[in-house]
Chains A and B, each alone.
Chain A
């Protein structure tokens, strides 16, 4: 990130120093190359046995000193722009329905930023500019938003350095198969370190598609295609690199190309007929539902399940866009001997409809040096596991490479066409039996869960189960979204809460990367704000410290987000690993805390939140004071003010 004033200083300094722009320099480069080679310090340093460059580096020039001191004037505007290229870029994003753009400022996209905040009626809406404090947070916001909604928002990245800040987040979103749209600025006339010949190259291994268009027309088309690529299975981040020249181009006569929505691959009509026949003729069919693309897919899955009375499995307690957990047909049903199983983005015994895997994308990208572990190890039927990334047992039935969500309407149509009155009657009976059995199974599971959750109930530090238990009655009648991963916090929501909406629980980090929870929740809260939802963030302390500035973003944009700290004062997973390692080596665990705990001093998260302007309280160590604090937190969020409660917890 470079302040505009710095940019001006540098630009002027360069101009004063060389008296020629970069393009002018390139034109004369060939002629001057020989002379440069013979005279520059760099050339000298490249000679064998030459003295180190530092010893021969020239003293700072007057221009450089002036630049460092800020003693320069701003450039004079050379022209008036009547219709900026970046206005058209923003209009293209508006037409695509992009709601938000998250960024911290960078000079390479100043043209775009100015358009985002000033272009349109009203300006700064669709997309609204969201101020991030770190590019990693900006992309993770888009990651959380993408999982909550099933479509991308935009993250805007500064050339080279911004992209590299964002790299881990891009990797996570890729691994998580989440659509994220990214634009990076490129200003080849400014700071050399912030430009590159192949800007997207540094993240190409874990983006699905990228482009660096050379004309404005190409740029607008590239934005449309990047959007389409991001939302087409396998969904993943995409990146368009836009030069500052294109952003600032005066384009009074340019037009936005006609947008063509993407085509989703579906099963063919004969497959649809066969699947419908299989579901209708079976005595006890089963539908296994993994992660679909959008809420629309979930609706279709519910419709199909209800039409055929099939008991259905879900991954709703692992991530978004799956079958409602407490739907009467969700569960093992009355009889676990299924004679026909249909898998939707998950393995099925007879037929499994799964979209293309990331490994297929990876094979066309620059993945040689990164490998992606499980991603490339998929193989036939190997899209199982969360997000379908290899490692699952081979499917014994037919696997159809198609998008399940887009295929469901075809199956539903066929079911409606083929269903006889006899079958209808049998399905009604089966539905009632399955619903009763699933309810009983649910009650049994809940009773067992409750028995286990009482452990350490009155203890201090506070049990993580108590947080989830006491939070539930406060949110159960709200439209809530648990956007933080619960895998490090006991996963109590899976047993205690009802995950009935496509966004009830957004799942894990993607690639296990830290610094995910809070920014993903902010992204989900962006989606929640315009949809009157509330986001719950049970925030692990180690994770928050990677980029806590995102708390400010939540406050600044008044996002409906309740953060409850799972503050165990450690990176506890690693703590246990070190303890184990020391144990098996016969060295005890006496020093396992070194490098894996957050003590001396303890971090005061309530104060941290307050520093970012967030209403907060804590640390809470008395379990009897937790419930009241949670009530205050939920009330605050319902008023539109994010809130944090620091709770000192058991390790897990």
Chain B
């Protein structure tokens, strides 16, 4: 995995990704139904958790182009440009992480058994 990330990061880094526009990214996230598998929160549903975002933008872009799972289709540059994916990346970075379980009484109740 590290090797793949390094290679993909290297390829993408040559394109010097620019900071995306989160507002535009939200529009794309909704329009292209990323939430279908990742939730409106970026962390619910059968897809991988996107929040907190653990990839850099280049790796994120590369992943969307070449998902390492058969559950996710690839999105080519014909469908979404690198700039658009940069916008999506920027939007995902704005999504809040969930509070810790210890701070959620409704979940803490389960631990008391």
A: residues with CB less than 8 A from B are 442-443, 446-447, 449-451, 453-461, 463-466, 469-470, 472-473, 496, 572, 575-576, 579-584, 586-590, 592-593, 627, 650-652
Known: A456-B40, A459-B98, A461-B40. 4 other contacts (CB 8 A): A451-B101, A580-B71, A652-B39, A652-B44
**CA distance in complex: A584, B78 (Å):** 12
Using an 8 Å CB-CB cutoff, how does the interface string of B52-90 with A read, 1 for contact, 0 for none?
Answer: 000000000000000000011111101110000000000
Contact yes or no, A458 B101, CB < 8 A: no
Q: How many angstroms from the CA of A627 to the CA of B32 in the assembled complex?
A: 32
Whether the Cβ atoms of B79 and A586 lie closer than 8 Å is yes
Contacts A455-B98, A586-B78 known; A463 to B32 CB distance under 8 Å? no
Q: Given the known A-B contacts A451-B101, A454-B98, A593-B33, are A472 and B109 also in contact in the complex, defined by CB atoms under 8 Å? A: yes
Q: List chain B residues, Cβ under 8 A from A442.
A: 113
Would B43 and A455 count as touching, CB distance under 8 A?
yes
30 CB-based A-B contacts, threshold 8 Å: A442-B113, A447-B111, A450-B111, A453-B101, A453-B107, A454-B98, A455-B43, A455-B49, A456-B39, A456-B44, A456-B98, A459-B41, A463-B39, A463-B41, A465-B44, A469-B106, A470-B106, A472-B109, A472-B110, A473-B106, A473-B109, A576-B37, A579-B37, A579-B73, A581-B73, A583-B79, A586-B78, A589-B32, A627-B106, A651-B39
Interface residue from B32, B36, B46, B109 paired with A590 (Cβ < 8 Å) = B32
Q: Flag if A584 contacts B33 (CB, 8 Å).
A: no
For the complex of A and B, the 5 pairs showing the least CB-CB separation, nearest first, are: A583-B73, A456-B41, A459-B41, A650-B44, A588-B79
Identify the interface centre among A496, A576, A581, A593: most chain B CB within 10 Å of its CB: A576
Contacts of B109 in A (CB 8 A): 472-473
Chain B count of residues within 8 A CB distance of the other chain: 37
Q: Residues on B close to A: CB < 8 A?
A: 31-33, 35-37, 39-46, 49, 71-76, 78-80, 96, 98-101, 104, 106-111, 113
Known: A456-B98, A652-B46. A592 touches B41 (CB 8 A): no
- Cβ-defined contact, A464 with B44, below 8 A: yes
> CA A451 – CA B101 in complex, angstroms?
6
Whether A454 contacts B104 by the Cβ 8 Å rule is yes
A454-B100, A575-B36, A579-B73 given; A651·B31 CB < 8 A: no
Residues of A within 8 A of B106 (CB): 466, 469-470, 473, 627
CB-CB < 8 A to B49: which residues of A? 455
Q: Which residues of A contact B40 (CB under 8 A)?
A: 456, 459-461, 650-651
In the complex, which residues of chain B have a beta carbon less than 8 angstroms from the beta carbon of A593?
33
Chain B residues positioned under 8 Å from A446 (CB to CB): 110-111, 113
Q: Are B33 and A579 in contact (CB under 8 A)?
A: yes
B110 touches A590 (CB 8 A): no
* CB of A369, distance to nearest CB on chain B (Å): 33
Q: Which residues in A have their C-beta under 8 angstroms from that of B111?
A: 443, 446-447, 450
Contacts of B35 in A (CB 8 A): 651
Residues of A within 8 A of B107 (CB): 450, 453-454, 457, 469
Name the B residues within 8 Å of A463 (CB-CB).
39, 41, 44
Q: A449-B110, A454-B104, A651-B39 are in contact. Are A584 and B74 (CB under 8 A)?
A: yes
Roughly how many angstroms separate A456 CA and B80 CA in the complex, as a whole number? 26
Complex alpha-carbon distance, A587 and B80, angstroms: 10
Chain A residues near B33: list those with CB within 8 A: 575, 579, 589, 592-593
How distant is B102 from chain A, measured CB to nearest CB, in Å? Answer: 9
Pairwise interchain contact B96-A458, C-beta atoms closer than 8 A: yes
Given known A446-B113, A469-B106, A470-B106, contact A456–B78 (CB-CB < 8 A)? no
Inter-chain contacts of A592 with B (CB < 8 A)? 33, 36
A residues less than 8 Å from B71 (CB atoms): 580
CB distance from A588 to the nearest CB of B (A): 4
Chain A residues closer than 8 Å to B108, beta-carbon distance: 450
Chain B residues with Cβ below 8 Å from A449 are 110
Q: Is the CB of A584 within 8 A of B43?
A: no
Question: With the chains together, A347 CA to B2 CA distance in Å?
Answer: 41
**Alpha-carbon distance A375/B63, docked complex (angstroms):** 40
B71 CB → nearest A CB, Å:
8
Taken together as a complex, chains A and B put the C-alpha atoms of A446 and B71 apart, in Å, by: 27
Taking the nearest CB of chain B, how far is it from the CB of A18, in angstroms?
Answer: 61
B37's nearest neighbour on chain A, judged by CB, is A576
Evaluate whether A496 and B110 lie within 8 angstroms (CB atoms) in the complex, with A592-B33, A593-B33, A650-B45 already known: yes
A461 proximity list for chain B (CB < 8 A): 40
Residues of A within 8 Å of B101, CB to CB, are 450-451, 453-454
Given the interface pairs A450-B111, A454-B99, A584-B74, the reply to whether A590 lies near B31 with Cβ below 8 Å is: yes
Q: How far is the CA of A575 from the CA of B31 in the complex (A)?
A: 13
Chain B nearest CB from A499 CB (Å) reads 14
Q: Which residues of A contact B41 (CB under 8 A)?
A: 455-456, 459, 463, 650
The answer, among B36, B75, B96, B104, for a CB contact under 8 Å with A588, is B75
Bound state CA distance, A579 and B46, in angstroms? 14
Give chain B nearest CB distance to A577 CB in angstroms: 10
| Whole-angstrom CA separation of A590 from B80 in the bound complex | 11
Contact A651 B99 (CB under 8 A): no
Cα(A627)–Cα(B35), bound, Å: 25
The interface residues of chain B lying within 8 Å CB-to-CB of A459 are 39-41, 44, 96, 98
C-alpha spacing A583/B76, complex, angstroms = 9
Q: For residue A431, give the distance in angstroms from its CB to the closest CB of chain B.
A: 20
> A463: shortest Cβ distance to chain B, in Å?
5
Name, among B46, B109, B110, the residue most crowded by chain A CB atoms within 10 Å (CB to CB). Answer: B110
Taken together as a complex, chains A and B put the C-alpha atoms of A496 and B113 apart, in Å, by 11
Known contacts A443-B113, A472-B109, A456 near B36 by CB under 8 Å:
no
> What is the distance, in angstroms, from B36's C-beta to the closest C-beta of chain A?
5
Contact assessment for B98 and A458 in the assembled complex, using a CB-CB cutoff below 8 Å: yes
A593 to B33, CA, bound (A): 8
Question: How far, in angstroms, from A41 to B95 measured CA to CA in the complex?
Answer: 72
List chain B residues, Cβ under 8 A from A460: 40
CB contacts (< 8 Å) of A650 on chain B: these are 39-41, 44-45
Minimum C-beta distance from A474 to chain B (A): 11
CA distance A581 to B99 in the complex (A): 35
Name which residue of chain B comes closest to A456, CB basis.
B41
In the complex, which residues of chain A have a beta carbon less than 8 angstroms from the beta carbon of B74?
Answer: 583-584
Expressed in whole angstroms, the Cα–Cα distance for A44 and B99 within the complex equals 79
Shortest C-beta distance, A326 to chain B (Å), equals 9
Min Cβ gap A82→B in Å is 64
Complex Cα spacing A590 to B75, Å: 12
